[in-house]
Chain A
Amino acid sequence: MRIVVLMKPVPDPGEERLGADGRLDRSVSAVINGNDEYVLEAALQLVEAHGGEVTLLSMAPAGMTDPVRKALAMGAVRAVLVTDPALAGACAWSTAQVLAAALRTLEYDLVLAGADTSDGGGGVVGSAIATLLHHPYLSHARKIEPFEGGVRVERISAVGHDVLEATLPAVVAGTQLLGEPRYPSLRGIMGARSKEIAIRTLAEIGLDDRPLGGAHATTTLLDTHAPAARGSTRVVRDLDTAAAAAAIVDFLVERRAL
Protein backbone atom coordinates (compact mmCIF):
# COMPACT_ATOMS: atom_id res chain seq x y z
CA MET A 1 0.00 0.00 0.00
CA ARG A 2 1.32 3.43 -0.84
CA ILE A 3 -0.01 5.86 1.70
CA VAL A 4 0.45 9.61 1.78
CA VAL A 5 -0.17 11.24 5.15
CA LEU A 6 -0.98 14.94 5.09
CA MET A 7 0.80 16.55 7.98
CA LYS A 8 0.49 20.07 9.24
CA PRO A 9 3.07 21.51 11.60
CA VAL A 10 1.22 23.66 14.11
CA PRO A 11 2.25 25.68 17.15
CA ASP A 12 2.28 23.70 20.38
CA PRO A 13 -1.33 23.85 21.60
CA GLY A 14 -1.59 26.61 24.17
CA GLU A 15 1.26 28.52 22.54
CA GLU A 16 -0.59 29.80 19.49
CA ARG A 17 -0.18 33.50 18.81
CA LEU A 18 -1.27 35.85 16.09
CA GLY A 19 1.43 38.08 14.72
CA ALA A 20 1.08 41.80 14.12
CA ASP A 21 -0.05 41.09 10.55
CA GLY A 22 -2.98 39.08 11.81
CA ARG A 23 -1.51 35.81 10.65
CA LEU A 24 -0.63 32.84 12.80
CA ASP A 25 2.82 33.37 14.22
CA ARG A 26 4.66 30.33 12.92
CA SER A 27 7.94 31.23 14.56
CA VAL A 28 6.64 29.52 17.69
CA SER A 29 8.06 26.03 17.90
CA ALA A 30 6.03 23.58 15.89
CA VAL A 31 4.72 20.13 16.60
CA ILE A 32 2.82 17.66 14.49
CA ASN A 33 -0.89 18.52 14.53
CA GLY A 34 -2.46 16.23 17.10
CA ASN A 35 -4.94 14.52 14.78
CA ASP A 36 -2.29 14.00 12.11
CA GLU A 37 -0.30 11.89 14.54
CA TYR A 38 -3.20 9.49 14.88
CA VAL A 39 -3.56 9.02 11.16
CA LEU A 40 0.20 8.67 10.82
CA GLU A 41 0.10 5.88 13.38
CA ALA A 42 -2.79 4.27 11.48
CA ALA A 43 -0.81 4.53 8.25
CA LEU A 44 2.26 2.94 9.83
CA GLN A 45 0.16 0.07 11.15
CA LEU A 46 -1.47 -0.42 7.76
CA VAL A 47 1.85 -0.75 5.96
CA GLU A 48 3.15 -3.01 8.72
CA ALA A 49 0.15 -5.28 8.11
CA HIS A 50 -0.18 -4.99 4.33
CA GLY A 51 3.25 -3.93 3.14
CA GLY A 52 4.03 -0.65 1.46
CA GLU A 53 5.35 2.75 2.47
CA VAL A 54 4.21 5.92 4.12
CA THR A 55 5.11 9.28 2.59
CA LEU A 56 4.49 12.54 4.41
CA LEU A 57 3.18 15.57 2.58
CA SER A 58 3.24 18.94 4.21
CA MET A 59 2.75 22.55 3.23
CA ALA A 60 4.80 24.63 5.58
CA PRO A 61 7.33 27.43 5.88
CA ALA A 62 10.84 26.42 4.92
CA GLY A 63 12.98 25.21 7.78
CA MET A 64 10.06 23.86 9.76
CA THR A 65 11.54 20.40 9.79
CA ASP A 66 11.35 19.28 13.43
CA PRO A 67 7.80 17.92 13.21
CA VAL A 68 8.63 16.33 9.87
CA ARG A 69 11.71 14.66 11.38
CA LYS A 70 9.64 13.30 14.21
CA ALA A 71 7.17 11.82 11.75
CA LEU A 72 10.05 10.28 9.80
CA ALA A 73 11.41 8.91 13.06
CA MET A 74 8.07 7.23 13.71
CA GLY A 75 8.50 5.32 10.49
CA ALA A 76 7.47 7.29 7.44
CA VAL A 77 9.86 6.61 4.61
CA ARG A 78 10.16 10.08 3.09
CA ALA A 79 8.65 13.52 3.25
CA VAL A 80 7.61 16.04 0.64
CA LEU A 81 7.48 19.61 1.84
CA VAL A 82 5.83 22.24 -0.33
CA THR A 83 7.20 25.57 0.62
CA ASP A 84 7.07 28.95 -1.00
CA PRO A 85 7.11 32.40 0.57
CA ALA A 86 3.95 33.21 -1.37
CA LEU A 87 2.10 30.62 0.67
CA ALA A 88 2.38 32.51 3.95
CA GLY A 89 -1.12 33.37 5.04
CA ALA A 90 -2.72 30.92 2.63
CA CYS A 91 -6.38 30.19 3.24
CA ALA A 92 -7.97 26.75 3.35
CA TRP A 93 -8.92 26.92 -0.33
CA SER A 94 -5.33 27.69 -1.38
CA THR A 95 -4.05 24.95 0.88
CA ALA A 96 -6.36 22.44 -0.75
CA GLN A 97 -5.21 23.49 -4.23
CA VAL A 98 -1.56 23.20 -3.27
CA LEU A 99 -1.85 19.83 -1.60
CA ALA A 100 -3.97 18.46 -4.44
CA ALA A 101 -1.39 19.61 -6.96
CA ALA A 102 1.39 18.04 -4.91
CA LEU A 103 -0.55 14.78 -4.69
CA ARG A 104 -0.82 14.75 -8.47
CA THR A 105 2.97 14.40 -8.57
CA LEU A 106 2.93 11.39 -6.23
CA GLU A 107 1.74 7.82 -6.57
CA TYR A 108 -0.51 6.49 -3.84
CA ASP A 109 -3.42 4.29 -2.96
CA LEU A 110 -4.61 6.15 0.09
CA VAL A 111 -4.32 9.69 1.43
CA LEU A 112 -4.82 10.12 5.16
CA ALA A 113 -5.48 13.40 6.92
CA GLY A 114 -6.29 14.43 10.47
CA ALA A 115 -9.87 15.45 11.20
CA ASP A 116 -8.93 19.04 11.93
CA THR A 117 -6.06 21.10 13.23
CA SER A 118 -5.44 22.67 16.58
CA ASP A 119 -4.26 25.99 15.16
CA GLY A 120 -7.61 27.16 13.87
CA GLY A 121 -7.98 24.83 10.95
CA GLY A 122 -11.51 23.80 10.23
CA GLY A 123 -11.26 20.26 8.91
CA VAL A 124 -12.47 21.15 5.41
CA VAL A 125 -9.20 20.84 3.52
CA GLY A 126 -9.35 17.05 3.26
CA SER A 127 -12.78 17.15 1.68
CA ALA A 128 -11.74 19.89 -0.73
CA ILE A 129 -8.64 17.97 -1.78
CA ALA A 130 -10.62 14.80 -2.39
CA THR A 131 -13.12 16.72 -4.51
CA LEU A 132 -10.40 18.42 -6.55
CA LEU A 133 -8.79 15.04 -7.25
CA HIS A 134 -12.10 13.31 -7.75
CA HIS A 135 -11.35 10.78 -5.02
CA PRO A 136 -13.91 9.42 -2.56
CA TYR A 137 -13.74 11.17 0.81
CA LEU A 138 -14.31 9.15 3.99
CA SER A 139 -14.14 11.28 7.11
CA HIS A 140 -14.22 10.94 10.89
CA ALA A 141 -12.69 7.49 10.69
CA ARG A 142 -12.24 5.39 13.78
CA LYS A 143 -11.16 2.31 11.85
CA ILE A 144 -9.58 1.89 8.42
CA GLU A 145 -9.41 -1.45 6.61
CA PRO A 146 -8.16 -1.76 3.06
CA PHE A 147 -9.35 -4.57 0.82
CA GLU A 148 -8.64 -5.48 -2.77
CA GLY A 149 -9.09 -2.25 -4.74
CA GLY A 150 -10.92 -0.44 -1.99
CA VAL A 151 -11.07 0.71 1.60
CA ARG A 152 -13.62 0.19 4.34
CA VAL A 153 -13.92 2.81 7.02
CA GLU A 154 -15.95 3.05 10.21
CA ARG A 155 -17.10 6.65 10.41
CA ILE A 156 -18.23 8.06 13.73
CA SER A 157 -21.83 9.22 13.51
CA ALA A 158 -24.09 11.07 15.89
CA VAL A 159 -25.73 7.82 16.94
CA GLY A 160 -22.87 5.34 16.65
CA HIS A 161 -20.96 4.62 13.47
CA ASP A 162 -21.48 4.00 9.77
CA VAL A 163 -19.53 1.46 7.76
CA LEU A 164 -18.41 3.01 4.49
CA GLU A 165 -16.75 1.57 1.43
CA ALA A 166 -15.07 3.24 -1.49
CA THR A 167 -12.66 2.44 -4.28
CA LEU A 168 -9.02 3.42 -4.19
CA PRO A 169 -7.41 5.86 -4.42
CA ALA A 170 -9.35 7.52 -1.63
CA VAL A 171 -8.89 10.26 0.96
CA VAL A 172 -9.62 9.31 4.56
CA ALA A 173 -9.73 11.73 7.48
CA GLY A 174 -9.12 10.13 10.85
CA THR A 175 -9.68 10.77 14.53
CA GLN A 176 -8.13 9.98 17.87
CA LEU A 177 -10.00 6.67 17.96
CA LEU A 178 -7.57 5.22 15.44
CA GLY A 179 -5.21 4.63 18.36
CA GLU A 180 -2.34 6.12 20.33
CA PRO A 181 0.60 7.15 18.18
CA ARG A 182 3.87 5.41 18.93
CA TYR A 183 6.83 7.16 20.46
CA PRO A 184 9.57 7.37 17.85
CA SER A 185 12.20 4.89 18.92
CA LEU A 186 15.71 6.21 19.28
CA ARG A 187 16.72 4.06 16.34
CA GLY A 188 13.97 5.74 14.34
CA ILE A 189 15.22 9.16 15.41
CA MET A 190 18.74 8.43 14.33
CA GLY A 191 17.57 6.81 11.11
CA ALA A 192 15.39 9.81 10.26
CA ARG A 193 18.49 11.83 9.59
CA SER A 194 19.12 9.91 6.39
CA LYS A 195 15.55 9.95 5.13
CA GLU A 196 14.67 12.22 2.25
CA ILE A 197 12.81 15.49 2.73
CA ALA A 198 12.05 16.64 -0.79
CA ILE A 199 11.35 20.36 -1.05
CA ARG A 200 8.92 21.47 -3.74
CA THR A 201 8.15 25.00 -4.77
CA LEU A 202 4.86 26.04 -6.32
CA ALA A 203 6.48 26.01 -9.73
CA GLU A 204 7.59 22.42 -9.27
CA ILE A 205 4.02 21.29 -8.67
CA GLY A 206 2.69 23.32 -11.57
CA LEU A 207 1.06 26.13 -9.64
CA ASP A 208 3.32 29.11 -10.12
CA ASP A 209 0.91 30.87 -12.45
CA ARG A 210 -2.11 30.56 -10.18
CA PRO A 211 -3.47 33.08 -7.73
CA LEU A 212 -2.70 31.29 -4.49
CA GLY A 213 -1.23 32.03 -1.12
CA GLY A 214 -1.41 34.96 1.19
CA ALA A 215 -1.71 37.59 -1.49
CA HIS A 216 -4.75 35.88 -2.96
CA ALA A 217 -6.34 34.57 0.19
CA THR A 218 -10.07 34.15 -0.06
CA THR A 219 -10.46 35.21 3.54
CA THR A 220 -8.83 37.87 5.67
CA LEU A 221 -8.60 38.71 9.33
CA LEU A 222 -10.06 42.09 10.20
CA ASP A 223 -9.79 42.19 13.95
CA THR A 224 -8.57 40.22 16.88
CA HIS A 225 -9.04 40.79 20.55
CA ALA A 226 -8.91 38.87 23.78
CA PRO A 227 -12.22 37.47 24.92
CA ALA A 228 -13.94 39.23 27.78
CA ALA A 229 -12.18 38.30 30.97
CA ARG A 230 -14.00 35.65 32.89
CA GLY A 231 -13.84 37.43 36.18
CA SER A 232 -12.27 36.04 39.27
CA THR A 233 -12.92 32.59 40.57
CA ARG A 234 -14.99 32.20 43.68
CA VAL A 235 -13.34 29.46 45.70
CA VAL A 236 -15.25 27.45 48.24
CA ARG A 237 -13.55 25.01 50.58
CA ASP A 238 -13.84 23.36 53.95
CA LEU A 239 -17.60 23.10 53.72
CA ASP A 240 -19.47 19.96 54.58
CA THR A 241 -21.04 18.14 51.68
CA ALA A 242 -24.55 19.56 52.07
CA ALA A 243 -23.20 23.09 52.31
CA ALA A 244 -21.04 22.57 49.24
CA ALA A 245 -24.03 21.32 47.26
CA ALA A 246 -26.09 24.28 48.45
CA ALA A 247 -23.31 26.66 47.42
CA ILE A 248 -23.38 25.26 43.91
CA VAL A 249 -27.16 25.53 43.65
CA ASP A 250 -27.13 29.09 44.93
CA PHE A 251 -24.41 30.02 42.46
CA LEU A 252 -26.31 28.55 39.54
CA VAL A 253 -29.41 30.46 40.60
CA GLU A 254 -27.37 33.64 40.89
CA ARG A 255 -26.05 33.11 37.37
CA ARG A 256 -29.59 32.43 36.14
CA ALA A 257 -28.61 28.99 35.09
CA LEU A 258 -31.46 27.36 36.96
Chain B
Amino acid sequence: MGGIWVVGEVDSAGALTKLSGEAATAARALGEAGSLDVRGVIVAAEPDGAAASLATFLPVVLAVRSPETLEQTAAAVIAARVAALAAAAPEPPSYLVVGATPDGRDLAGALSALLGVGVLVGATGLAWGDAGDGVPAGPRVEMQPFGGRVVTTSAFTGDRGIILLRSNMVVAEPLAAPGRVEAGAAVEVLDVAPVRVVERVVAKSTGPSIDEARVIVSGGRGVGGPEGFAGLGELAGLLGGAVGATRAAVDAGWVDYAIQIGQTGKTVKPAVYLAFGVSGAIQHKVGMQTAETIVAVNRDPDAPIGEFADLFVVADLVAVVPALAAALRARVG
Protein backbone atom coordinates (compact mmCIF):
# COMPACT_ATOMS: atom_id res chain seq x y z
CA MET B 1 0.00 0.00 0.00
CA GLY B 2 1.24 3.47 -0.81
CA GLY B 3 2.15 5.84 1.96
CA ILE B 4 1.13 9.29 3.09
CA TRP B 5 2.62 12.42 1.62
CA VAL B 6 2.48 15.75 3.39
CA VAL B 7 2.76 18.69 1.00
CA GLY B 8 4.25 21.50 3.04
CA GLU B 9 3.38 25.12 2.47
CA VAL B 10 5.96 27.87 2.30
CA ASP B 11 5.17 31.42 3.33
CA SER B 12 6.15 34.61 1.53
CA ALA B 13 9.49 34.62 3.33
CA GLY B 14 10.28 31.07 2.25
CA ALA B 15 9.71 29.54 5.67
CA LEU B 16 7.58 26.50 6.46
CA THR B 17 4.15 27.43 7.83
CA LYS B 18 3.12 26.39 11.33
CA LEU B 19 0.18 24.49 9.87
CA SER B 20 2.52 22.35 7.80
CA GLY B 21 4.14 21.12 11.02
CA GLU B 22 0.69 20.32 12.38
CA ALA B 23 -0.22 18.46 9.19
CA ALA B 24 3.02 16.51 9.34
CA THR B 25 2.36 15.54 12.96
CA ALA B 26 -1.14 14.39 12.13
CA ALA B 27 0.08 12.44 9.12
CA ARG B 28 2.77 10.76 11.19
CA ALA B 29 0.17 9.59 13.71
CA LEU B 30 -1.93 8.20 10.87
CA GLY B 31 1.07 6.46 9.38
CA GLU B 32 1.95 4.84 12.70
CA ALA B 33 -1.60 3.62 13.24
CA GLY B 34 -2.02 2.35 9.71
CA SER B 35 1.53 1.11 9.16
CA LEU B 36 2.14 3.46 6.29
CA ASP B 37 5.28 5.35 5.39
CA VAL B 38 5.02 9.09 5.67
CA ARG B 39 7.08 11.57 3.77
CA GLY B 40 7.00 15.28 3.08
CA VAL B 41 7.25 17.28 -0.10
CA ILE B 42 8.31 20.90 -0.50
CA VAL B 43 8.07 22.60 -3.88
CA ALA B 44 9.57 26.08 -3.83
CA ALA B 45 12.12 28.31 -5.51
CA GLU B 46 14.50 27.72 -2.56
CA PRO B 47 13.10 24.61 -0.88
CA ASP B 48 15.99 23.60 1.34
CA GLY B 49 15.19 25.69 4.40
CA ALA B 50 11.54 24.73 4.50
CA ALA B 51 12.42 21.12 3.69
CA ALA B 52 14.79 21.05 6.62
CA SER B 53 12.07 22.43 8.88
CA LEU B 54 9.58 19.86 7.63
CA ALA B 55 12.20 17.17 8.19
CA THR B 56 12.07 17.96 11.92
CA PHE B 57 8.62 16.37 11.76
CA LEU B 58 9.03 13.65 9.15
CA PRO B 59 11.67 10.98 8.41
CA VAL B 60 11.99 11.87 4.72
CA VAL B 61 11.26 15.10 2.89
CA LEU B 62 11.55 15.62 -0.87
CA ALA B 63 12.81 19.07 -1.79
CA VAL B 64 11.83 20.12 -5.28
CA ARG B 65 13.50 23.22 -6.63
CA SER B 66 11.06 25.17 -8.74
CA PRO B 67 11.91 28.73 -9.71
CA GLU B 68 8.50 28.91 -11.40
CA THR B 69 6.95 29.52 -7.99
CA LEU B 70 8.48 32.99 -8.00
CA GLU B 71 6.43 34.10 -10.95
CA GLN B 72 3.42 31.83 -10.98
CA THR B 73 0.70 30.97 -8.52
CA ALA B 74 1.86 28.20 -6.23
CA ALA B 75 -0.97 25.74 -6.59
CA ALA B 76 -0.58 25.11 -10.33
CA VAL B 77 3.19 24.75 -10.07
CA ILE B 78 3.09 22.48 -7.05
CA ALA B 79 0.21 20.35 -8.33
CA ALA B 80 1.99 19.73 -11.63
CA ARG B 81 5.08 18.51 -9.82
CA VAL B 82 3.54 16.60 -6.93
CA ALA B 83 1.19 14.73 -9.25
CA ALA B 84 4.11 13.84 -11.52
CA LEU B 85 6.19 12.66 -8.57
CA ALA B 86 3.28 10.66 -7.24
CA ALA B 87 2.73 8.96 -10.58
CA ALA B 88 6.41 8.22 -11.00
CA ALA B 89 7.00 6.99 -7.45
CA PRO B 90 7.70 3.26 -7.02
CA GLU B 91 4.82 3.29 -4.54
CA PRO B 92 2.44 6.15 -5.35
CA PRO B 93 1.02 7.71 -2.19
CA SER B 94 -2.37 6.57 -1.00
CA TYR B 95 -3.11 9.73 0.94
CA LEU B 96 -1.98 13.32 0.73
CA VAL B 97 -2.29 15.72 3.64
CA VAL B 98 -2.30 19.46 2.96
CA GLY B 99 -3.01 22.49 5.17
CA ALA B 100 -6.46 23.98 4.56
CA THR B 101 -5.27 27.39 3.43
CA PRO B 102 -6.32 29.17 0.24
CA ASP B 103 -3.25 27.79 -1.54
CA GLY B 104 -3.87 24.40 0.04
CA ARG B 105 -7.43 24.26 -1.27
CA ASP B 106 -6.34 25.27 -4.73
CA LEU B 107 -3.66 22.61 -4.64
CA ALA B 108 -6.02 19.94 -3.37
CA GLY B 109 -8.56 20.68 -6.08
CA ALA B 110 -5.93 20.47 -8.80
CA LEU B 111 -4.47 17.25 -7.37
CA SER B 112 -7.93 15.76 -7.09
CA ALA B 113 -8.41 16.29 -10.81
CA LEU B 114 -4.90 15.17 -11.81
CA LEU B 115 -4.86 12.06 -9.64
CA GLY B 116 -8.55 11.22 -9.83
CA VAL B 117 -9.03 11.02 -6.08
CA GLY B 118 -11.52 12.48 -3.62
CA VAL B 119 -10.94 15.24 -1.09
CA LEU B 120 -12.07 15.76 2.49
CA VAL B 121 -11.84 19.44 3.31
CA GLY B 122 -11.52 21.05 6.69
CA ALA B 123 -10.43 18.22 8.97
CA THR B 124 -10.62 19.07 12.66
CA GLY B 125 -9.31 15.68 13.69
CA LEU B 126 -7.58 12.70 12.06
CA ALA B 127 -7.50 9.11 13.20
CA TRP B 128 -7.01 5.71 11.62
CA GLY B 129 -9.91 3.30 11.40
CA ASP B 130 -10.10 -0.40 10.68
CA ALA B 131 -12.13 -1.72 7.78
CA GLY B 132 -15.84 -1.80 8.47
CA ASP B 133 -19.12 0.00 7.68
CA GLY B 134 -18.43 -0.71 4.02
CA VAL B 135 -15.17 1.21 3.90
CA PRO B 136 -11.62 -0.10 3.89
CA ALA B 137 -9.12 0.59 6.64
CA GLY B 138 -7.98 4.17 6.29
CA PRO B 139 -8.17 7.69 7.69
CA ARG B 140 -11.20 8.69 9.68
CA VAL B 141 -11.60 12.42 9.23
CA GLU B 142 -13.52 14.56 11.68
CA MET B 143 -15.08 17.75 10.33
CA GLN B 144 -17.49 20.35 11.69
CA PRO B 145 -19.66 21.65 8.86
CA PHE B 146 -22.41 24.27 9.10
CA GLY B 147 -20.32 26.47 11.31
CA GLY B 148 -19.77 23.73 13.82
CA ARG B 149 -23.40 22.87 14.44
CA VAL B 150 -22.65 19.24 13.82
CA VAL B 151 -19.55 17.04 14.11
CA THR B 152 -19.06 14.45 11.39
CA THR B 153 -16.67 11.59 10.78
CA SER B 154 -15.97 10.72 7.17
CA ALA B 155 -13.82 8.28 5.27
CA PHE B 156 -12.72 7.60 1.73
CA THR B 157 -14.68 4.83 0.05
CA GLY B 158 -11.56 3.66 -1.78
CA ASP B 159 -7.98 3.43 -0.66
CA ARG B 160 -6.83 6.88 -1.76
CA GLY B 161 -7.66 10.43 -0.88
CA ILE B 162 -6.58 13.98 -0.12
CA ILE B 163 -7.12 15.50 3.30
CA LEU B 164 -7.11 19.22 4.06
CA LEU B 165 -6.35 19.95 7.69
CA ARG B 166 -7.55 23.08 9.49
CA SER B 167 -5.12 25.07 11.55
CA ASN B 168 -4.91 24.81 15.32
CA MET B 169 -6.52 21.37 15.45
CA VAL B 170 -3.34 19.37 15.99
CA VAL B 171 -0.35 20.32 18.09
CA ALA B 172 2.84 20.10 16.06
CA GLU B 173 5.33 17.66 17.63
CA PRO B 174 8.83 17.37 16.21
CA LEU B 175 10.61 14.04 15.97
CA ALA B 176 13.26 13.20 18.53
CA ALA B 177 15.80 13.47 15.74
CA PRO B 178 15.13 15.21 12.44
CA GLY B 179 14.62 13.17 9.27
CA ARG B 180 16.55 13.62 6.04
CA VAL B 181 15.98 15.80 3.02
CA GLU B 182 16.28 14.33 -0.47
CA ALA B 183 16.15 16.08 -3.80
CA GLY B 184 12.89 15.25 -5.53
CA ALA B 185 13.35 12.98 -8.54
CA ALA B 186 13.51 14.72 -11.88
CA VAL B 187 10.18 13.99 -13.49
CA GLU B 188 8.29 15.24 -16.47
CA VAL B 189 6.09 17.88 -14.98
CA LEU B 190 2.37 17.53 -15.73
CA ASP B 191 0.72 20.22 -17.78
CA VAL B 192 -1.30 22.49 -15.54
CA ALA B 193 -2.30 25.88 -16.95
CA PRO B 194 -0.01 28.49 -15.38
CA VAL B 195 -1.12 31.76 -13.83
CA ARG B 196 1.41 34.55 -13.86
CA VAL B 197 1.98 36.63 -10.76
CA VAL B 198 2.57 40.13 -12.03
CA GLU B 199 2.97 41.83 -8.68
CA ARG B 200 2.88 40.98 -5.00
CA VAL B 201 1.50 43.81 -2.91
CA VAL B 202 2.15 43.83 0.80
CA ALA B 203 -0.51 45.77 2.66
CA LYS B 204 -0.10 47.66 5.88
CA SER B 205 0.07 44.97 8.51
CA THR B 206 -3.10 44.17 10.39
CA GLY B 207 -1.18 42.30 13.01
CA PRO B 208 -0.83 38.57 13.62
CA SER B 209 -2.99 36.36 11.49
CA ILE B 210 -6.24 35.16 13.02
CA ASP B 211 -5.84 31.80 11.31
CA GLU B 212 -3.24 30.61 13.75
CA ALA B 213 -3.93 32.77 16.79
CA ARG B 214 -4.62 31.12 20.11
CA VAL B 215 -6.42 34.19 21.35
CA ILE B 216 -8.64 36.38 19.22
CA VAL B 217 -9.97 39.74 20.36
CA SER B 218 -12.84 40.54 18.09
CA GLY B 219 -14.91 43.65 17.49
CA GLY B 220 -18.27 44.27 15.90
CA ARG B 221 -20.55 47.15 15.10
CA GLY B 222 -20.51 48.26 18.73
CA VAL B 223 -16.85 49.21 18.49
CA GLY B 224 -17.95 52.25 16.57
CA GLY B 225 -14.93 52.96 14.41
CA PRO B 226 -11.27 52.28 13.66
CA GLU B 227 -10.15 54.04 16.85
CA GLY B 228 -12.02 51.47 18.89
CA PHE B 229 -10.14 48.73 17.10
CA ALA B 230 -6.87 50.23 18.24
CA GLY B 231 -7.98 49.49 21.79
CA LEU B 232 -8.76 45.91 20.81
CA GLY B 233 -5.32 45.66 19.23
CA GLU B 234 -3.80 46.66 22.54
CA LEU B 235 -5.74 43.92 24.33
CA ALA B 236 -4.70 41.41 21.71
CA GLY B 237 -1.08 42.41 22.19
CA LEU B 238 -1.35 41.94 25.96
CA LEU B 239 -2.88 38.49 25.45
CA GLY B 240 -0.51 37.42 22.67
CA GLY B 241 -3.36 37.18 20.23
CA ALA B 242 -4.79 38.63 17.05
CA VAL B 243 -7.61 41.04 16.27
CA GLY B 244 -10.68 39.79 14.44
CA ALA B 245 -13.86 41.50 13.30
CA THR B 246 -17.40 40.95 12.16
CA ARG B 247 -18.68 41.72 8.72
CA ALA B 248 -20.28 44.93 9.99
CA ALA B 249 -16.91 46.37 10.94
CA VAL B 250 -15.39 45.36 7.60
CA ASP B 251 -18.28 46.75 5.58
CA ALA B 252 -17.99 50.01 7.52
CA GLY B 253 -14.40 50.21 6.36
CA TRP B 254 -12.96 50.16 9.88
CA VAL B 255 -10.83 47.06 9.34
CA ASP B 256 -9.58 44.87 6.54
CA TYR B 257 -11.45 41.86 5.17
CA ALA B 258 -8.47 39.72 6.11
CA ILE B 259 -9.66 39.67 9.72
CA GLN B 260 -13.34 39.12 9.04
CA ILE B 261 -14.73 36.12 10.88
CA GLY B 262 -17.95 34.53 9.80
CA GLN B 263 -19.91 33.03 6.99
CA THR B 264 -18.25 34.92 4.18
CA GLY B 265 -15.00 35.44 6.03
CA LYS B 266 -12.84 33.07 8.02
CA THR B 267 -13.68 30.27 10.41
CA VAL B 268 -11.50 30.20 13.50
CA LYS B 269 -11.11 27.92 16.48
CA PRO B 270 -8.96 29.77 19.00
CA ALA B 271 -8.59 28.79 22.61
CA VAL B 272 -10.04 32.16 23.63
CA TYR B 273 -12.43 34.41 21.75
CA LEU B 274 -13.11 37.80 23.30
CA ALA B 275 -15.96 39.57 21.53
CA PHE B 276 -16.61 43.28 22.02
CA GLY B 277 -19.72 44.89 20.61
CA VAL B 278 -20.51 41.75 18.65
CA SER B 279 -24.18 40.86 18.46
CA GLY B 280 -23.55 37.21 17.68
CA ALA B 281 -25.84 36.94 14.67
CA ILE B 282 -25.69 33.61 12.85
CA GLN B 283 -23.51 34.92 10.01
CA HIS B 284 -20.76 35.67 12.49
CA LYS B 285 -21.49 32.83 14.89
CA VAL B 286 -20.72 30.18 12.29
CA GLY B 287 -17.18 31.50 12.06
CA MET B 288 -16.27 31.28 15.74
CA GLN B 289 -18.67 29.18 17.75
CA THR B 290 -16.24 26.32 18.24
CA ALA B 291 -13.77 28.47 20.14
CA GLU B 292 -12.95 26.84 23.48
CA THR B 293 -13.76 29.85 25.64
CA ILE B 294 -15.99 32.68 24.50
CA VAL B 295 -16.25 35.90 26.47
CA ALA B 296 -18.58 38.58 25.17
CA VAL B 297 -19.01 42.18 26.25
CA ASN B 298 -22.07 43.96 24.92
CA ARG B 299 -24.34 46.76 26.07
CA ASP B 300 -27.39 44.91 24.79
CA PRO B 301 -28.57 42.28 27.28
CA ASP B 302 -30.57 40.58 24.54
CA ALA B 303 -27.70 40.21 22.09
CA PRO B 304 -27.76 36.68 20.63
CA ILE B 305 -24.14 36.14 21.62
CA GLY B 306 -25.35 35.99 25.21
CA GLU B 307 -26.89 32.65 24.41
CA PHE B 308 -23.70 30.83 23.53
CA ALA B 309 -20.90 32.75 25.20
CA ASP B 310 -19.32 31.18 28.25
CA LEU B 311 -19.15 34.54 29.99
CA PHE B 312 -21.46 37.36 28.97
CA VAL B 313 -20.74 40.77 30.43
CA VAL B 314 -23.49 43.32 29.95
CA ALA B 315 -21.52 46.53 29.92
CA ASP B 316 -20.24 49.28 27.69
CA LEU B 317 -17.16 48.07 25.85
CA VAL B 318 -15.86 51.61 25.60
CA ALA B 319 -15.24 51.54 29.32
CA VAL B 320 -14.43 47.87 29.72
CA VAL B 321 -11.73 47.61 27.04
CA PRO B 322 -9.30 50.06 28.68
CA ALA B 323 -10.17 48.72 32.12
CA LEU B 324 -9.41 45.19 30.99
CA ALA B 325 -6.14 46.33 29.44
CA ALA B 326 -5.22 47.96 32.73
CA ALA B 327 -6.14 44.84 34.69
CA LEU B 328 -4.05 42.66 32.38
CA ARG B 329 -1.07 44.98 32.64
CA ALA B 330 -1.39 44.96 36.41
CA ARG B 331 -1.14 41.18 36.48
CA VAL B 332 2.07 41.16 34.52
CA GLY B 333 3.59 44.01 36.46
Contact = CB atoms under 8 A, between A and B. Distances in A.
B105 to A, nearest CB: 5
B69 interface: no
Given A164-B197, A236-B314, A220 B135 contact: yes
Contact of A14 (B194, B196, B282): B282
Contact of A233 (B109, B135, B308): B308
Contact of B315 (A118, A160, A166, A237): A237
Contact of B157 (A152, A161, A217, A239): A217
A246 B325 CA distance: 10
A123 B120 CA distance: 11
Interface string A148-162: 000010011111111
Interface string A233-251: 1111111011011111101
B265 interface: yes
Contacts of B96: none
A132 interface: yes
Q: Which of B75, B79, B102, B331 has the most CB of A within 10 A?
A: B102
Nearest to B109: A127
Nearest to B205: A159
A11 to B, nearest CB: 9
Contacts of B145: 16, 119-120
Nearest to A139: B106
Interface stretch (A76-84, A89-97, A189-197, A200-208): A89-97
B115 to A, nearest CB: 10
Contact of B257 (A177, A224, A241): A177
A108 interface: no
Contacts of A18: 150, 152
Nearest to A150: B196
A229 to B, nearest CB: 10
Given A165-B196, A219-B118, A241-B319, A93 B112 contact: yes
A139 B74 CA distance: 11
B151 A35 contact: no
A222 B153 CA distance: 5
Given A18-B150, A34-B264, A218 B117 contact: yes
Nearest to A228: B151
A142 interface: yes
Interface string B17-29: 0000000000000
Nearest to B319: A241
| Interface magnitude class on chain B | 35 or more
A65 interface: no
A124 B309 CA distance: 32
Q: Which of A38, A120, A156 has the most CB of B within 10 A?
A: A120
A51 interface: no
A217 to B, nearest CB: 6
Contact of B76 (A136, A222, A242): A136
B106 to A, nearest CB: 5
A131 interface: yes
A227 interface: yes
A123 B11 contact: no
A127 B75 contact: yes
Contacts of B119: 91-93, 122, 124, 218-219
Contact of A122 (B116, B121, B324, B326): B121
A252 interface: yes
B203 interface: yes
B144 interface: yes
Contacts of A170: 193
A156 B310 CA distance: 33
B285 to A, nearest CB: 9
A163 B199 contact: yes
A138 B195 CA distance: 7
A187 interface: no
Interface in B68-120: 73, 75-76, 79, 100, 102, 105-110, 112-114, 116-120
Contact of A166 (B195, B271, B324): B195
B58 to A, nearest CB: 24
Interface string A125-136: 111111110111
B117 to A, nearest CB: 7
15 contacts: A13-B147, A116-B105, A122-B120, A131-B192, A131-B193, A158-B258, A165-B196, A231-B310, A239-B313, A245-B323, A245-B324, A248-B327, A249-B331, A251-B310, A255-B292
Given A16-B149, A255-B310, 13 more contacts: A93-B118, A130-B193, A136-B193, A137-B110, A160-B200, A162-B197, A219-B119, A220-B135, A222-B153, A236-B314, A244-B320, A248-B324, A251-B310
